[in-house]
Structure 1
């Protein structure tokens, strides 16, 4: 795509709207595009990719420009990370801008402090140094600077993975089987998958491979009673329903009506008849308490910092803080404790987050086990062997973009011991 002054102006305006980061970057961009309906598909793609690229590399860009403004960050990003040469940018740059742009190609991240090389803010660096070496932090930071691949989950009620791969290939979409999830597909590039027949007919859903593995850890049986405690828009609920062959009973709880409304069209496409979305006010809602001691399987994908999804949501490293994580930890402990009450003896619960911070993960689980002696920790590696999935990250499931090319996921599997007779 040939760069024009209009591209620069609209991308600068979009970045100016996003950078206060009062709200998620993707929702601000959606609003921006609604307010600018004349933008074509290529323009929107250019703006979105550029804004997210700048958020990924913001620390480096701010250190490389004289004054950090939306426009200077944009020009620096195009020169350094999009490979535009000075000759291509000169027509759009002032004399002063051209001067510092000339030196930006030679401005090396390697000469910068570790936080700039890793593109992680100081508050997060401080937390990571509590359990990681500098070389590991750098590896993690660099892995989070690349956009995430597009992963799909095959709805096994309606199709097999081979059928979907053949259908995508026939339409010129490059795709391959994911290495771990038996029903995952990784798509090359950025095709408009939401317009493809496989998506429109419910045969596939967009879902990160790491998220798919949670369903195999939970391993619900056909006639089980199952609760997805923090269902959101229901991606994992839909997978669990398919694993149950649309039998048994599956409740999708969430305290956001908007998120559950997003589940409705997906549920309709899926062909499931065993999934019941339920709006709750909080973890102590009467709808929750009514199920105490009746549930075979509970999935708690807890509200968390989301730092494991920085490839998709780079704005989170600027929107989270030590204070917000303290609040999340209180919420995580309360939700886990409440969800655990649902289990019948012998039942299984998964506590999961898309964070790599031990204080949101191992520490929450350890504190829970201390105060709930009737629960035992199961070994995720052994459960993966049972599911014939070649993945061993130890007792806990711990996935990282660098090692597994998934989002950064954590999961612990807990079982309620049966009553001794």
Structure 2
């Protein structure tokens, strides 16, 4: 970023960041609310505000140390501009008050000497320590660096209406740089930003925004036409859409979630995609009577469990500052309960896929290990075997799926495929 910055942009970025740094709600929700309340801020200014807020969040520890621990949001934005984005004090001088000029001179001259692994990685200490324990310090630092870079834009082609080659040809004709994903046969990746929601392909249901790693979960479930399938934690329906498309809108696909608001967001997406086999079902909890009625009836069940979201920090850098060790401990209890409940729906010979967008072993391998130890009716099916059946090449795929942005260019995802044998 080397464009001229206006006082309107800087003031707005400081105000928006101040709201976000309360860490009460997700940053994207806070920004959406801020822009709704400030409709006079134009599209170009909004782009700067969002970039500044996310830039500070990604580098929060370093920026806060350089700006001063008590520095207000506006100074944090200025620090990010100078120390991360390469702006000179002279370029920003017209925007500064006299006190800020003096402060900025001192900040510019400061050297940053990280004293802990948290400082080095711009992560909270508890998370940095866990990643080092799992991956070793060198890989943990490299992984943190990958998590700290903005993610590319991935879309998924709807196989019910078109195919990837046709969509790629369309974008090439329009002069849009796009490439096929490395793993998912339905993935297309863009390095730049696009207003996809106004593109005819999106409006016609031919494409959906979905990270390539998330797309792979659908191929692990591998639902067939006419089957009974459940997406146990469906949310706004991103994975439900793929499952329904793979089923060619046949059979019955239950989309369960505890949030009626999240499921409501899935309705227009399902209609746009041309799916008529999806049953949106609000449940009070994982042991709801609506779940118990389906015990032993499901061919496939996907449990994309609520988790810490540590694999999505490229897109949600505020998560690392909002999440806590206590929060993760509470999540692991919930994850184990949800998996046990969802497993009861699977009929003999049926498939259960447990997945998270977390990088932490306690939410992933440890949950599956404990489940298998307590449920001898289930056996593990190697992920490599399932992907091979879908003609998906992933050289490092093994017993379970472990994706991360450093090695795979995707968000961080975990998945295990389990089969009911009795």
Fold equivalence (TM over 0.5): yes
CA deviations on 1:143-162 (whole Å, 9 max, x unpaired) are 11101111000001011111
Q: How many Å separate the matches in 1 of 2:111 and 2:281?
A: 52
* Contact 2:23 2:322 (8 Å CA) reproduced: yes
Q: How many Å separate the matches in 2 of 1:243 and 1:41?
A: 37
* Contact 1:173 1:188 (8 Å CA) reproduced: no
Q: How many Å separate the matches in 1 of 2:71 and 2:253?
A: 50
* Contact 1:79 1:104 (8 Å CA) reproduced: no
Asked if 1:180 is matched to 2:183, the reply is yes
Q: How many Å separate the matches in 1 of 2:65 and 2:103?
A: 12
Deviation at 1:45, TM superposition (A): 1.2
Q: How many Å separate the matches in 1 of 2:161 and 2:107?
A: 52
Change (3 A) 1:138 1:183: same
Deviation at 1:280, TM superposition (A): 1.0
Paired residue for 2:164? 161
Deviates more, 1:116-125 or 1:234-243: 116-125
SS of aligned partner of 2:185: coil
Deviates more, 1:109-118 or 1:121-130: 109-118
Paired residue for 2:35? 33
Deviation at 1:107, TM superposition (A): 5.3
* Contact 2:66 2:112 (8 Å CA) reproduced: no
SS of aligned partner of 2:254: strand
SS of aligned partner of 1:179: coil
Deviation at 1:407, TM superposition (A): 0.5
1:354-365 maps to which residues of 2 (within 5 A)? 354-365=357-368
1:208-223 maps to which residues of 2 (within 5 A)? 208-223=211-226
Q: Name the TM-score, length of structure 1 as normaliser.
A: 0.96
Q: How many Å separate the matches in 2 of 1:258 and 1:119?
A: 33
SS of aligned partner of 1:323: helix
Q: Name the TM-score, length of structure 2 as normaliser.
A: 0.96
RMSD across aligned C-alpha pairs, in angstroms?
A: 1.4
Deviates more, 1:170-179 or 1:123-132: 123-132
SS of aligned partner of 1:308: helix
Q: Which of 81, 85, 90 is the matching residue for 1:82?
A: 85
Change (3 A) 1:410 1:80: same
Q: How many Å separate the matches in 2 of 1:373 and 1:339?
A: 15
Paired residue for 1:133? 136
Change (3 A) 1:108 1:340: farther
* Contact 1:296 1:343 (8 Å CA) reproduced: yes
The number of residues matched between the two structures is 418
Paired residue for 1:65? 67
Q: Which of 411, 414, 420 is the matching residue for 1:407?
A: 411
Structure 2 residue runs of 5 or longer lacking an equivalent are: none
Change (3 A) 1:325 1:111: closer
Paired residue for 1:416? 420
Structure 1 residue runs of 5 or longer lacking an equivalent are: none
